[in-house]
Chain A
Amino acid sequence: MAEEKRLMKGNEAMGEAAVRAGCDAYFGYPITPQNELTAYMARHMLDKKRVFIQAESEVSAINMVYGAAATGARAMTSSSSPGISLKQEGISYACGADVPIVVINVARSGPGLGGISPAQGDYFQSTRGGGHGDYYHIVLAPKSVQEAADLTYEAFDLADQWRMPAMVLADGMIGQMMEGVVLPQPKDPATRIAKPWASGNRPAGRDCNHVDSTHLVPEEFEQANIARFKRYDEMKKLLPRWEEQHVEDADLILTAYGTSARVSLGAMQMARKLGLKVGLWRPITLWPFPEKRLGELAGKRFLTVEMSMGQYIEDVKLYTHGKSEVSFYGRCGGMIPTEEDLLAEIRRILKK
């Protein structure tokens, strides 16, 4: 089949990518700025006789996702920051019961109801296990409509492979803007990995399957958590992904994810034109974090750029092991940094 390029909103592109990844069931609840995604799924899931439900709340939606995924189906929900907070209980259960699900957060400004403009204030919640208990899950951070589609498409495979939620952490900018996107080929269901742990369709001779996060015997529960963290260690070796430009000769490395990385790229190019040795380092997997690579760059000077009051900076400091001077430039409340303002900050830091 010829390459198929379309002009799409990020929200729609993520929806189409999910459909093509073989999403069997989608459950959502209206919230701005991700409404186009739910509407897209309504149209295209129902059209294909797949399951679509507009739930009565985000809480209900995430538990529908959990229930569908517990039968072995590919299931997804999407929301925006306040709605993602409501889903955290369900995400914790999915982590505790090792149920693969896909969650898209088209993040907006907070705390509280906040506003509907793009923000990156959900970094801690996303990367630290936003619900109760000891857990992490996959977090993927796209910087463009293309990457939003690609990472959503891949999220289903990653979730299945590692038996845990995979979250795409976008923001209102990625969700709302239109760009050209090359859509992936529909996935052949035959390529899916088997899920012998799922409930339902029990063959004769098989013991009952219980999709369950309950552990009331501390000795057993400790062992189960230790086993899960061994899986996390394996993921830390295999999954980290990042993008970097001009880091080797850089006097200052801009570091950011998602939309703020995009702004940083523009500022870096402007700085380079002025002869300033500025680089860019962008994590694509926020969990597992590309900590090994960042550690190799320890000693370099960093400027973290965020659409928050400073959350991602904590990981930059953590993984440069105190060997780097790490500065912060952030906007919040729905404000997006501009390339010009960022360039001014770069010049201030480099005194040039």
Chain B
Amino acid sequence: MGLQQKSVILNPVGCSIWASIYFDFDSVQVPHGRTPAGATAVKRMLPDHLVICYQGDGDLAAIGTAEAVHAANRGEKFTTIFVNNAIYGMTGGQMAPTTLVGQKATTAPYGRDPVEAGMGYPIRVLEMLATLGGTKYLARGAVNNAANTRKTKQYIKKAFEAQMRGEGSTMVEILSQCPTNWAMDPVESVGWVESDMIPFYKLGVVKDELAGSNEESKEAAK
């Protein structure tokens, strides 16, 4: 998109703290969960920039729920890349808000039990945000195989282009492997995304109200 010199990524707390090492553009690192608040301000000050709000499941769907919901509701014109691996990675495998029912974690040693242990249910963030007027494009992809990765790339590009047209809040959720904390080898982990995560977190466009989208795409999202 030719925007490298005019891009800022907001790095949250979590594994994604390393984002500034991997991406060759300017960054701002914010407290845990406050990424959408930081991104809100960066985009308001630099409206001609591509602003990327990079969040994990703990950052977005646990500690930063308020910031995520309200930034989306204000229709802040940045793009959130929401990496959902259903576990806390950086801190070593604790239960995340997106941990599946029955999935084990260091803080859910007998598996996530929504009722008896009162651990609640996994949160489908995009479906929750879809009810808000400020959200214009919400899509969920995965990176467990080449086809899904290519599709995810298309979602991201579409969200970035919508951002640069100033269309409103855009978010792409990416189902991602964490073999280390899932205690699986890499091959098993891509299989688990397919067998367990995707049935619950359905892939595809969850909401598309972009002026730049065709009717077919908008209909598909409904």
Residues of A within 8 A of B (CB): 24-25, 27, 51, 53, 55-57, 59-61, 63-68, 70-73, 75, 89-90, 93, 97, 199-204, 208-214
How many contacts between A and B, using CB within 8 angstroms? Answer: 124
Q: Are B24 and A208 in contact (CB under 8 A)?
A: yes
Chain B residues 1-42 with CB under 8 Å of chain A are 4-6, 8, 10-11, 17, 20, 24-31, 34, 37-42
Closest residue to B27 on the A side, CB-wise?
A210
C-alpha gap A326/B10 in the complex (Å):
50
Chain A to chain B contacts (Cβ below 8 Å), 26 pairs: A27-B41, A53-B41, A56-B66, A59-B66, A63-B30, A63-B38, A67-B28, A67-B37, A67-B45, A68-B41, A68-B42, A71-B45, A75-B41, A93-B31, A199-B8, A199-B27, A199-B42, A200-B6, A202-B6, A202-B26, A203-B5, A208-B24, A208-B26, A210-B28, A212-B11, A214-B29
**A214 contact set on B, CB distance < 8 A:** 17, 29
Q: Are B38 and A212 in contact (CB under 8 A)?
A: no
> Contacts A60-B70, A89-B31, A199-B28: A212 and B40 contacting too (C-beta < 8 A)?
no
Q: Are A64 and B37 in contact (CB under 8 A)?
A: yes
**B25 contact set on A, CB distance < 8 A:** 202, 208
The 10 tightest CB contacts between A and B, nearest first, are A67-B41, A67-B38, A63-B37, A63-B34, A199-B26, A68-B41, A56-B70, A212-B29, A64-B41, A60-B37
C-alpha gap A70/B11 in the complex (Å):
13
Size category of the binding interface on chain B:
20 to 34
The residue among B37, B44, B49 with the most chain A CB atoms within 10 A of its own CB is: B37
Report the minimum CB–CB distance from A29 to chain B (whole Å).
11
**B27 contact set on A, CB distance < 8 A:** 199, 208-212
Q: Are A209 and B70 in contact (CB under 8 A)?
A: no
**A200 contact set on B, CB distance < 8 A:** 6, 8, 26, 42, 45-46, 49
Residues of B within 8 A of A (CB): 4-6, 8, 10-11, 17, 20, 24-31, 34, 37-42, 44-46, 49, 66-67, 69-70, 74
> Contacts A70-B42, A90-B34: A212 and B20 contacting too (C-beta < 8 A)?
yes
C-alpha gap A24/B74 in the complex (Å):
20
**A70 contact set on B, CB distance < 8 A:** 28, 38, 41-42
C-alpha gap A212/B38 in the complex (Å):
12
Q: Are A67 and B30 in contact (CB under 8 A)?
A: yes
Q: Are A67 and B29 in contact (CB under 8 A)?
A: no
Q: Are A201 and B31 in contact (CB under 8 A)?
A: no
C-alpha gap A61/B45 in the complex (Å):
15
Report the minimum CB–CB distance from A201 to chain B (whole Å).
7
C-alpha gap A211/B28 in the complex (Å):
5
**B10 contact set on A, CB distance < 8 A:** 67
| Residue from B20, B41, B49, B74 within 8 A of A210 (CB atoms) | B20
C-alpha gap A201/B51 in the complex (Å):
12
The residue among B6, B11, B29, B66 with the most chain A CB atoms within 10 A of its own CB is: B29
Q: Are B29 and A210 in contact (CB under 8 A)?
A: yes
C-alpha gap A72/B8 in the complex (Å):
13
Q: Are B66 and A68 in contact (CB under 8 A)?
A: no
User: Assuming A27-B41, A199-B27, A210-B28, what are 7 further A-B pairs, CB within 8 angstroms?
Assistant: A56-B69, A65-B41, A70-B28, A200-B8, A202-B4, A208-B27, A212-B11
| Residue from A56, A71, A212 within 8 A of B67 (CB atoms) | A56
